Structure 1
Amino acid sequence: MTNAPTAPAAALDFYFDFSSPYGYFAAEQIDALAARHGRTVNWHPFLLGATFKLTGLGPLPGIPLKGAYSMHDIARSARFFGLPYRQPSTFPIPTQHAARAFLWLHGRSPAKAKAFGLAAYRAYFVDDVNISDLGAVLDIAAGQGVDRDELSAVLAGSEIKAQLAAEVEQGIARGVFGSPFVIVDGEPFWGADRLPQLERWLQDGPF
């Protein structure tokens, strides 16, 4: 008698906003972290602005006391993770163009979408490229081998805008309110500082 094949372990759902430095820190590590434990990762672009309306909060720099601390913590966290980081000259920024580009690419090739996502994050948080600019997003995608004209036409259409809105709504329905936000086995983890907890969960199970 043969044993039934074991079902693959569930993928991690990784929600991120391209304007989030903590999202950048997580994006650089999440796939390798998951792979160490036989998991894969589904990346989901997200817009933090949609949650501000629900929580009554706003971007970190504008929050008294917490904002100043966060700017210090972001740079310290980059050093802790050993990642290059330069505080963007414009921060935060709207990231709809990058999020829509990622979502469209993901529908064609998740691997290409992730490569674009990392390139966009590095452009913003390492090279100080303002990725709220459509032209900058198209340049980054072209650098990843994406047809610039085709992507430009897609981003001008209403379909991809509706797809991103639905993606964000789905995230909010699952309780997502920050970046990075990871859901694994139904358990939510918010923040790059929760990566060690996430790894323990994957290694040893619920705690």
Structure 2
Amino acid sequence: MKQIDYYFSLLSGFAYMAGDRLEKIAAKHDVTINYKPYDIMALFAALGVPKPADRPEGRKVYRTQELTRLSKKTGLPLKLNAQFWPTNAAPASYAIIAAVDAGGGDVAAVIASLNHAMWAEDKDIADDAVIAEALKAGGFDPMLSMTGMLQGADTYVRNTEEGLAAGVFGSPFYIVKDTGERFWGQNSLEDLELHLEGKI
């Protein structure tokens, strides 16, 4: 079975705008998704890339316009000036990793719940109650946020290191494991599917 390593950060509005398209593509083509949340700020620092707040004004304006267009295209609600962005994404990322390790639930639903909480509901995804609610939404024990914390922390660091080694430089980032083909951004999902179909 083919596999896709999906590197992403909950701080990425563009990963949020991908919605459930990756999951639909994976289901259609019998592909396994390896969810790899990582520390995007640490990655930017390692690459010498400015944080979003430090980028040129033109880049900031483009981000705002592009996210607004994507929200209209996808129908996903978006608060451009989300109250708790950026926040500490580590605890929520640990919970996602713990859910992946536990199995038996819907990891994509956990991610979607966390994304919606931050980008549409002005909730802090570093808050234990918000994380617990997201785990419940995916059919997982909400206590995973506590019991899986140490392992989640180790994996979070490892995901970041592996992402750097694999050439990841943003979020969302998709790597097809058997071919090594890389796709950056939610707008690359169409090309990802074409690649899985052997067309490109």
Q: TM-score range with shorter-chain normalisation?
A: 0.7 to 0.9
User: Cα 1:160–1:36, aligned 2, differ >3 Å: closer, same or farther?
Assistant: closer
Distance 1:35 1:19, change over 3 A: same
User: What amino acid is the match of 2:35?
Assistant: W
CA distance in 2, matches of 1:174, 1:81: 29
CA contact (8 A) 1:11 1:40 kept: yes
- Counterpart in 2 of 1:152? 146
Residue of structure 2 equivalent to 1:15 = 7
Q: Check the 8 A contact 2:38/2:160 in 1, yes or no.
A: yes
Partner of 1:124: 118
Instruction: After TM superposition, give the deviation of residue 145 of structure 1 in Å.
Output: 4.5
1:68 aligns with 2:98: no
| Aligned mate of 2:89, from 95, 99, 104 | 95
Percentage of pairs with the same residue:
27
Residue 103 of structure 1 deviates from its aligned partner by 0.3
- Aligned partner of 1:200 in structure 2 is 194
The question of whether the paired residues in 2 share the 8 Å contact of 1:60 and 1:70 is answered with no
1:31–1:40 contact (8 Å) kept in structure 2? no
Q: Is the 8 A contact 1:61 1:68 kept in 2?
A: no
Change (3 A) 1:154 1:108: closer
**Displacement of 1:69:** 1.5
Deviation of 1:40 after TM superposition, in Å, equals 2.9
- For the pair 1:187 / 2:186, whether they are aligned, the reply is no
Report the Cα offset of residue 148 of structure 1: 3.6
State the AA in 2 paired with 1:138.
Answer: A
Q: Which residue of 2 aligns with 1:5?
A: none
Contact 2:91–2:145 (Cα < 8 Å) also in 1: no
Partners of 2:47 and 2:106 in 1: CA distance? 33
For structure 1, list consecutive stretches of 5 or more residues without a partner in the other structure.
Answer: 1-7
SS in 1 for 2:197: helix
Q: Does 1:138 align with 2:132?
A: yes
Q: Which amino acid aligns with 1:124?
A: M
The CA distance in 2 between the partners of 1:106 and 1:190, in whole Å, is: 23
Amino acid aligned to 1:154: G
Which sits farther off after the overlay, 28-37 or 172-181? 28-37
For 1:50, the equivalent position in structure 2 comes to 42
From the CA coordinates, give the structure whose radius of gyration is larger: 1
- In the TM superposition, residue 132 of structure 1 has moved relative to its aligned partner by 2.5
Q: Deviations over 1:5-62 (max 9, x none)?
A: xxx3x11111110111111122421010222333232211111012111222233243
Structure 2 letter corresponding to 1:203? E
In structure 2, relative to structure 1, the CA distance for the partners of 1:16 and 1:80 (3 Å cut) is same
Residues 132-172 of structure 1: per-residue CA shift (max 9 Å, x gap): 333422333245454344532433xx333122211221122
| TM-score, length basis structure 2 | 0.87
Unpaired runs of at least 5, structure 2: none
Q: 2 CA distance for matches of 1:66 and 1:110?
A: 41
